[in-house]
Amino acid sequence: MVGPETAPAPVLSLHNVRKVFDVVVALESVSLEVNKGEVVALVGDNGAGKSTLVKIICGVHPPTAGRILVQGEEVHFTNPSQAQQRGIQVVFQDLALAGQQPVYMNLFLGRERVTGWWRRLDRKRMIEETRDLMQSMEVRIPSPSAAIRNLSGGQRQGVAIARATHWASRLVLMDEPTAALGVAETARVESIIRSLKAKNLAVLLISHSLDQVFRLSDRICVLRRGTQVGVKRTGETSNNEIVSMITGLS
């Protein structure tokens, strides 16, 4: 007799995560799960603790209390590289791109391909991989050798997301990925986010645009003044309800 199948562990599980900076409580008792192939939106006013939570997940800040599990295993990240080794990548609002460097060097920053016993940079291979990745994600750039500083805002955002996608095997964290982008560029970035979901990656998305949240997410987690107000299934809530949860006004 075969027993019932056990459900796979969530890609990310947060249990009562708390963060205190000196005497300031930035986060209080946040619990959340993000599953494979799921987009979870994190919403709240400025200062609600959204970016702090992302920085805790990716190893920039350690939590003051609480537990973080990746694929069911508790982790204690002390730096971002440890999170990256677990398949977690982040796209920060400032993108963290090197403006003077070409696209392909940004894609492989810190993970450069090398060849030969003298470990010379394998630029040809990096350029080819960058071209293939950009084409597969429909990120339109002049060339893999184009300098980041010469790209548009949408193209830079596409490069940052492509870099995260290329190295992420489990989870992509996005902090306002379409901030300051035009309508066409925003649509292109949203298409990339949908492609991550289609590839069965988990996505945790911070966005101030509730229209975008309702277009992209499966569930919505609301924070207010560092406290988790609730988590709603996107198809079972409304814009007005989420706004009420964000503001605390009925």
Domain count, the chain: 1
Per the domain annotation, does 204 fall within a domain? yes
The vertex-33 CA angle with 23 and 241, nearest 5°, equals: 80
pLDDT of residue 28: 92
Residue, of 233 and 96, whose pLDDT is higher: 233
- For residue 139 the two structure tokens come to 């990120």
Written as six digits, the tokens of 224 are 């207010």
Digit-coded pLDDT (tens) for 177-218: 887 778 887 888 888 889 889 989 999 999 999 999 999 999
For range 124-152, the mean pLDDT: 91
Average pLDDT of 130-144? 88
Q: Let me know if residue 106 belongs to a domain.
A: no
Q: Is residue 60 assigned to a domain?
A: yes
pLDDT for 4 beyond 70: no
In angstroms, how far is CA 81 from the centroid of its own chain?
15
- Whether 117 is covered by a domain: the verdict is no
5 domain-assigned:
no
Whole-angstrom distance, CA of residue 10 vs CA of residue 33: 6
pLDDT, position 250: 66
| Within-domain flag for 39 | yes
pLDDT value at residue 91: 87
Structure tokens at 58: 């990716």
Answer for the pair 31, 230: CB distance below 8 angstroms, yes or no.
no
In sign, the C-alpha dihedral spanning 38, 44, 49, 52 is positive
Least confident of 11-15, 176-180, 212-216, 237-241: 176-180
Exposed/middle/buried for residue 239 (C-beta within 10 Å: 0-12, 13-18, 19+): exposed
Question: Which of 45-49, 125-129, 135-139 is least confident?
Answer: 135-139
Q: What domain range is 235 assigned to? A: 12-95+159-247
Better-predicted residue by pLDDT, 154 or 83? 83
**Domain CATH number, residue 235:** 3.40.50.300
Q: What is the pLDDT of residues 59-84, one digit of tens each?
A: 999 999 999 999 999 999 999 999 99
What pLDDT was estimated at residue 158? 84
In a domain, 34, yes or no: yes
Is 136 inside a domain boundary?
A: no
pTM score of the predicted model: 0.86
